[in-house]
Amino acid sequence: MHSLALLEGRRTVRLFEDREVPRNLLVRALEAATWAPSAHNSQPWRFTVIGKGEARRRLVESMSLRFMEDLLNDGVPRSEAELIVSASKERFTRAPALVLFCLARGDLEDYPDERRRSAERIMGVQSLAAAIENFLLALHALGLAGCWRCAPLFCPGEVKAALGLPEDHEPQAIVEVGYPAERPEKPARRPLSEVLRLVDFPS
Ligand SMILES: Cc1cc2nc3c(=O)[nH]c(=O)nc-3n(C[C@H](O)[C@H](O)[C@H](O)COP(=O)(O)O)c2cc1C
């Protein structure tokens, strides 16, 4: 497949076949993730592959409890919150594989001032995001698909406790992985003209 067609053809998939993800393909896609650019080549990413077992059950349960608490605090009626949480839980439970992406804070440069510490942290998050995109593209190239889910950002403590992660790991995203059981339509994109500004460059 042409590289640009690969980039434009990748879609977020939320429904997967009930089929295991071959270990070698998952490893291959994670290797591709490590070829992402990173600030000072710091590679501040850590991957945790979660199969279908007790750890996943624990993880999904504790994330769901926290999600429910947040929704109720927002004033969402309990019956509505239960539907939302159970749909999220169902997806995390059914996905053939989950990959948690963490920012390894220990790999970041330390600075004495908050301005540079904050910039360095953002660089770390940007580097990790580049790795996640590489991973999604590699899955697509291998006939698999994924859905990037932001849930761990809202309950990092629960995720770390459920999986026994080291202190400096900062959970950033979970990607659900599997063979696609749907072919989503292309979601609309803002036209380039709306997001592009040319400065001293011919139009
Ligand atoms: C940072 C980030 C967080 C996302 N979180 C979620 C999520 O929690 N649940 C979900 O279903 N999709 C999530 N997505 C997927 C987006 O909804 C999806 O990329 C967007 O709708 C465009 O669709 P496409 O990926 O098929 O082009 C996330 C994507 C990104 C980049």
pLDDT tens, position by position, 73-109: 999 999 999 999 999 999 999 999 999 999 999 999 9
Q: Is residue 24 part of a domain?
A: yes
Q: What is the per-residue pLDDT for 1?
A: 62
Q: Is residue 101 part of a domain?
A: yes
Q: Is residue 124 part of a domain?
A: yes
Q: Is residue 72 part of a domain?
A: no
Distance (Å, whole) CA 2 – CA 104:
33
Distance (Å, whole) CA 134 – CA 128:
10
Distance (Å, whole) CA 31 – CA 121:
23
12 lines ligand 1 (CB under 6 A): yes
Regarding pTM above 0.85, the answer is yes
140 lines ligand 1 (CB under 6 A): no
C-alpha of residue 146 to centroid of ligand 1, in Å = 10
147 lines ligand 1 (CB under 6 A): yes
The two most distant CA atoms of the chain are separated, in Å, by 58
Report the number of distinct structural domains present in the chain.
1
* Average confidence score pLDDT of the chain: 97
The residue whose C-alpha atom lies closest to atom 17 belonging to ligand 1 is 12
Q: Is residue 114 part of a domain?
A: yes
**In this prediction, what percent of the chain has a pLDDT beyond 70?**
100
- Owning domain of residue 171: 12-51+95-182
Which H or E run includes 146? Answer: strand 145-149
Token pair belonging to 65: 């409890």
Q: Is residue 35 part of a domain?
A: yes
Q: Is residue 90 part of a domain?
A: no
Q: Is the pLDDT of residue 196 over 80?
A: yes
C-alpha of residue 166 to centroid of ligand 1, in Å = 27
Q: What is the pLDDT of residues 134-167, one digit of tens each?
A: 999 999 999 999 999 999 999 999 999 999 999 9
Provide the CATH number for the domain around residue 116. 3.40.109.10
C-alpha of residue 11 to centroid of ligand 1, in Å = 9
C-alpha of residue 130 to centroid of ligand 1, in Å = 14
**To test ligand 1's pocket by mutation, which of 94, 125, 148 has the most ligand atoms within 8 angstroms of CB?**
148
Distance (Å, whole) CA 187 – CA 12:
10
Q: Is residue 136 part of a domain?
A: yes
